[in-house]
Amino acid sequence: MHKNTDNKILGSKLDAVSKSLKKSIKNLDSYTHVRGESLYVDDVNIRQGTFHAVVFDSPKAHGKIKSIDYSKAEALQGVERIFTYKDVPGENEIGGIIPDEPLFAEHEVHFWGMPIALIVAESEFIARKARDLISIDIEELPVITTAKEAKAKGSFINAPRSFSLGDTEKAFADCDYIFEGETFSNGQEHLYIEAQGAYAEPLENGNIKITSSTQGPTAVQKTVAQVLGVAMHKIEVDVTRLGGGFGGKEDQATPWAVMAALATFHLNQSVKLILNRHDDLRMTGKRHPYESTYKIGLTKDLKILAYQSEFLQNSGAAADLSPAIAERTLFHATNSYYVPNVTTKVLSCKTNLPPNTAFRGFGGPQGMFVIESAIAKAAHEIGVSPRAIQEANLLDENDTFSYGQIAKKVEAKNTWHSAKQLFNIEAMEQEVSEFNKNNTAFKKGLSFMPITFGISFTNTPMNHARALVHIYLDGSIGVSTAAVEMGQGVNTKMMQIVADVFSVSIEHIKIETTNTTRVANTSPSAASSTADLNGKATLMACTALLERLKSVASQDLNVSENSITLNKEFVYVNGKKSELSWTSLISSAMLKRVALTENAHYATPEIHFDKTKEKGHPFAYHVYGTAITTATIDCTRGTYEFDAVKIVHDYGKSMSEGIDLGQVEGALIQGIGWMTMEEIAYNKDGRLLSNALSTYKVPDIFSVPKTVEVIPVETEGNDMAILKSKAVGEPPLMYGIGAYFALQNAIKAFNPNYDLKFHAPMTPEKVLMGLYKK
Ligand code: LUZ
Ligand code: MOS
């Protein structure tokens, strides 16, 4: 679907396209993936006698547990034991930010799908059969499913947060236009291809090894230790790779690993727990639905002078990562715009849904959707193109974000104007208006979507990583970091760094599994920061080893250290190849008893944030970009297609064109899915209705835009990014927001009386209602 950019369109601008993008390396995993040889949790060679586990979960969203009868299940042949909260030797508590989440329900249940017990049996089949034999009596309590209801009842996770800049109240008095409204964006199912799972095995002395499909090995280790009441060093967590995470395994891979470990702890036998798709959909949290209100004030020349919004986050039944996600919503509430007077507030509303969690963008997309809605509303009422308002307010160098950070190396205008020029916006608009003039049964719409996304964990103390690099005596290299490979290609990037520093071919390098005994106290692989943080640590470790090797070479060749470089597996002196090869150099270092192992620690410099003032400099840098989306709607059916999404994206100096383009395309489609088709539905009793892929529609190959064009903008990159290649994981998801507004503009072309609604996803049903609503 990616089309190489036509040289004619680019013309002389081609030179402006980043030259470094020529560098292209295949994703390391591509070979084993296509051969079906890549290893996941379910592929672990299980020990003889391994038990299999299934979770028994609540069949009601809220209530008091009156009684549970396990006797029939326990009597089933092949059932080993059923574990409940009574079997927890340490704390029955898994909450990461706030301790408000039991591993197993004790006397009350708070969401439909809340774990109550773990059935351990000889086979998964038997455990499932046993689950059907458990009877439970629950006295039902009132169920809250929406954030608004929770707010009305005063049901919150924690205290609200609020950011402000300037004097919003006063500024509204100076505005020529003021508009208010409300928006809704729904949740989103992660739908990682590999469901949640873990395999626990007993080692000697009560130690336990866990293979987990987690983005956060340390979170698993810490929580297992806490629940079992043992020290962290008794627990080893190992991760080879995940079949996708998208944030769904940042916190919510933990309970399953803990349960498997708990059973192993008691039985001294290996235990495997892998959720099937239905259990996973029902028991795990998703992207947070948000109900929000906005007030936007503009001057006659379309400058946004004041902006106010209140975000109601549907957090679900426990905090999970909700407070951090709420915070990121505030950080991105003004997207790519400079607004001098801003007041934003977020309330994490406690409901009886599964605890909602991290999902690519981490609350940022929800915040951006609201200001884009406010701009669309203002444009509609004033009678200008939304684009005119967007363009008049783009962020500039040295503008201040509402959280106090000063914008530097801003590419908002650059990507915007490059997109207009490179994609020939006049021709695109002409085509849309001609089409709309000549067609009644079909209409086209076009939208612009600029993005600005902050890179770093918003929680400053999480921004660190380590790398452990061994050079073995034959010259081969083993690299361990905290980075978890989940399909994003981070292992390939780590390998590139090592190959670059030592100038050796990738055949010499192995990226090890992510393991808490080799790299400890890690942050999860999240926040788009994994390659930056772990890459910087890897670079530091390799550079320290290189210095040592240069010293060895200078002794062997009797030349100064400064004259030495490594090039294609040979030592060069003053740029000239010597006889000393990489492998001979390593042998020599061994004979000289030089340490060939290095451990490095990287902590992002400069960042800080003061929560008491809600001001600081939380992000190492920002990623920018602009997408132009065109859509065609079928005005008889309400169905639609995306003709094209054309993007100018700020990759910095990409390390790998293929991998980064894959991230942009994947994120874009995931964003379009969230905005246009993926419809999470719970009934008012809190039961998930969209509980299978027959009722939860995700984008397939037919819903992908006919053209996706991504042009890298020439930027210097950023020193805080690894090798000046900017983080790419999350930012492009937000291009998908443009899909909503392209559809909305197409509806307006058909029905000029359309009363704008900001209620995502924009499903065909909603398009149809918009087309014919008077
Ligand atoms: N996870 C997290 C994240 O714990 N903190 C963050 O700031 C974040 N941002 C994006 C995605 N995951
Ligand atoms: Mo995340 S939303 O796990 O970066």
Is 407 a residue whose pLDDT tops 50?
yes
| Ligand 2 pocket mutation, candidates 239, 360, 456, 530, criterion most atoms within 8 A of CB | 360
Nearest to 726 by CA among 632, 618, 653, 628: 653
Q: Which of 391, 303, 377 is nearest to 756 (CA)?
A: 377
Q: Identify the pLDDT of residue 716.
A: 83
Checking if the pLDDT of 464 tops 60, the result is yes
Are 114 and 174 contacting, i.e. CB atoms less than 8 angstroms apart? no
Nearest residue by C-alpha to atom 8 in ligand 1: 527
Per-residue pLDDT of 415-426, as tens digits, reads 999 999 999 999
pLDDT at 760 over 50: yes
CB-based pocket (< 6 A), ligand 1: 247, 250, 321, 324, 328, 358, 362, 457-459, 526-527
pLDDT value at position 472?
98
If phi > 0 it is left, if psi is from -120 to 50 it is alpha, else beta; for residue 521 that is left
User: Hey, is 576 helix, strand or coil?
Assistant: strand
Region 663-686: mean pLDDT is 98
pLDDT higher than 60, residue 14: no
Among protein residues, the one with the nearest Cα to ligand 1's atom 12 is 527
The answer to whether 731 touches 670, Cβ cutoff 8 Å, is no
Chain-centre distance for alpha carbon 184: 21
CA distance 475 to 478: 10
Condensed to tens digits (0 to 9), the pLDDT of residues 328-359 reads: 999 999 999 999 999 999 999 999 999 999 99
Kindly report the length of the chain: 774
Q: pLDDT tier at 291 (50, 70, 90 boundaries)?
A: very high
Token readout for 28 is: 């390391």
* Interval 591-602: pLDDT, tens: 999 999 999 999
| Ligand 1 atom 6 nearest Cα | 457
Atom of ligand 2 nearest to the CA of 527: 4
- How far is residue 23's CA from residue 657's CA, in Å, rounded to a whole number? 7
Burial class (CB in 10 A: 0-12, 13-18, 19+), 12: exposed
Confidence (pLDDT) at 24: 64
Select from 322, 328, 670 the residue to mutate for testing ligand 1; criterion: most ligand atoms less than 8 Å from CB. Answer: 328
3-state secondary structure of 641: strand
Residue 124's pLDDT is what?
Answer: 98
In the reported structure, the alpha carbon of residue 524 is separated from the centroid of ligand 2 by a whole-number distance in angstroms of 8
As a whole number of Å, the CA-based R_g of the chain is 27
Measuring CA to CA, how many Å separate 52 from each of 25, 33, 193, 240?
A: 40, 26, 21, 21
Beta-strand ranges (E) seen in 70-196 are 79-83, 108-109, 115-121, 135-140, 161-165, 177-185
Q: Is the pLDDT of residue 414 over 60?
A: yes
Q: Which residues, including other chains, have CB under 8 Å from residue 38's CB and lie 6 or more apart?
A: 29, 32, 241
39 CA to centre of ligand 1 in angstroms: 27
User: What residue owns the CA closest to ligand 1's atom 7?
Assistant: 457
* Average pLDDT for 397-404: 98
Q: 250 CA distance to ligand 1 centroid (A)? A: 9
Which amino acid is residue 529, in one-letter code?
A: S
Q: How confident is the model at residue 622 (pLDDT cuts 50, 70, 90)?
A: very high
Comparing CA positions, the residue from 352, 346, 303 lying closest to residue 324 is: 346
Residue 38 scores a pLDDT above 80: yes
Which neighbouring-strand residues pair with 446?
630
Which ligand is the nearest neighbour of the Cα of 523?
A: 1
Is residue 358 within 8 A of residue 251, CB to CB? The reply is: yes
Structure tokens at 649: 């994206």
Ligand 1, atom 10: nearest CA belongs to which residue?
Answer: 527
Q: Determine contact, residues 99/93, Cβ cutoff 8 Å.
A: yes
124's torsion region: left (phi>0), alpha (psi -120 to 50) or beta? Answer: alpha
Q: What is the DSSP letter of 160?
A: -
Ligand 1 pocket, mutate which of 325, 457, 463, 609 (most atoms under 8 A from CB): 457
Question: In this structure, which ligand is nearest to the CA of 484?
Answer: 2
DSSP conformation class of 394: B
Q: How far apart are CA 636 and CA 243, in angstroms?
A: 40
Q: How far are the Cα atoms of 38, 353, 403, 443 from residue 682, in angstroms, in the given order?
A: 36, 8, 35, 33
For residues 63 and 131, the answer to whether their CB atoms sit within 8 Å is: no
Q: Which two tokens stand for residue 456?
A: 């770093």
Predicted local confidence at residue 774, as pLDDT: 75
Displacement of CA 547 from its chain's centroid (Å): 36
Q: What is the pLDDT of residue 20?
A: 37
Alpha-helical runs (H) found in 423-505:
425-438, 490-502
pLDDT interval class at 2 (50, 70, 90): very low
Structure tokens given for 678:
């993926």
User: Which pLDDT score is estimated for 714?
Assistant: 73
Q: How far is the CA of 424 from the centre of ligand 1 (A)?
A: 36
Q: Mean pLDDT, to the nearest integer, of 261-276?
A: 98
Which ligand 1 atom lies nearest to the CA of residue 360? 11
**What are the angstrom distances between the C-alpha of 323 and each of 86, 97, 161, 349?**
30, 8, 9, 10
What does the pLDDT average to over 559-584?
98
Nearest CA to ligand 1 atom 3: 527
State the pLDDT at residue 566: 98
Residue 396 to residue 400: CA distance in whole angstroms: 9
Q: How far is the CA of 327 from the centre of ligand 2 (A)?
A: 14
Q: How far is the CA of 642 from the centre of ligand 2 (A)?
A: 27
Q: How far is the CA of 308 from the centre of ligand 1 (A)?
A: 24
pLDDT at 25: 81
Confidence grade of residue 715 (pLDDT, cut at 50, 70, 90): confident
Q: Is 60 exceeded by the pLDDT of residue 187? A: yes
**Which H or E run contains 726?**
none
Q: How far apart are CA 343 and CA 456, in angstroms?
A: 23
Residue 270's φ and ψ, nearest 5 degrees, are: -70, 145
pLDDT at 717: 85
- The ligand minimizing its distance to the Cα of 253 is 2
User: Contact, 334 vs 371, CB < 8 A?
Assistant: yes
Give the nearest ligand 2 atom to 360 CA: 2
Specify whether the CB–CB gap between 537 and 600 falls below 8 A: yes
Note the pLDDT of residue 1.
37
Q: Hey, how many other C-beta atoms are within 10 angstroms of the C-beta on 8?
A: 6
Q: At what angle do helices 737-750 and 364-382 cross, to 10 degrees?
A: 20
For the chain, what is the mean pLDDT? 96
Residue 23: predicted pLDDT? 59
* Residue 359 DSSP one-character state: -
The yes-or-no verdict on residue 707 having pLDDT over 60 is yes
Q: Which of 325, 330, 430 is nearest to 370 (CA)?
A: 330
Q: Give the whole-angstrom CA distance, residue 281 versus residue 691.
A: 6
Q: Is residue 530 predicted with pLDDT exceeding 50? A: yes
Answer whether 736's CB lies under 8 Å from 672's CB: yes
CA 401 to chain centre: 22
Q: Is 655 exposed, middle or buried (0-12, 13-18, 19+ CB in 10 A)?
A: buried
Mutate to test the pocket of ligand 1, among 325, 464, 486 (most ligand atoms within 8 A of CB): 325
What distance in angstroms lies between residue 251's CA and the mean position of ligand 2's atoms?
10
Question: Which ligand is nearest to the Cα of residue 364, counting in written order?
Answer: 1
Site residues for ligand 2, CB cut-off 6 Å: 215, 247, 250, 358-360, 362, 526-527, 730
Among protein residues, the one whose CA lies closest to atom 3 of ligand 2: 247
What percent of the chain has a predicted confidence (pLDDT) above 70? Answer: 97
The residues carrying an active-site annotation are 730
Query: Which residue has tokens 């509204």?
Result: 172
The confidence score (pLDDT) of residue 302 equals 98
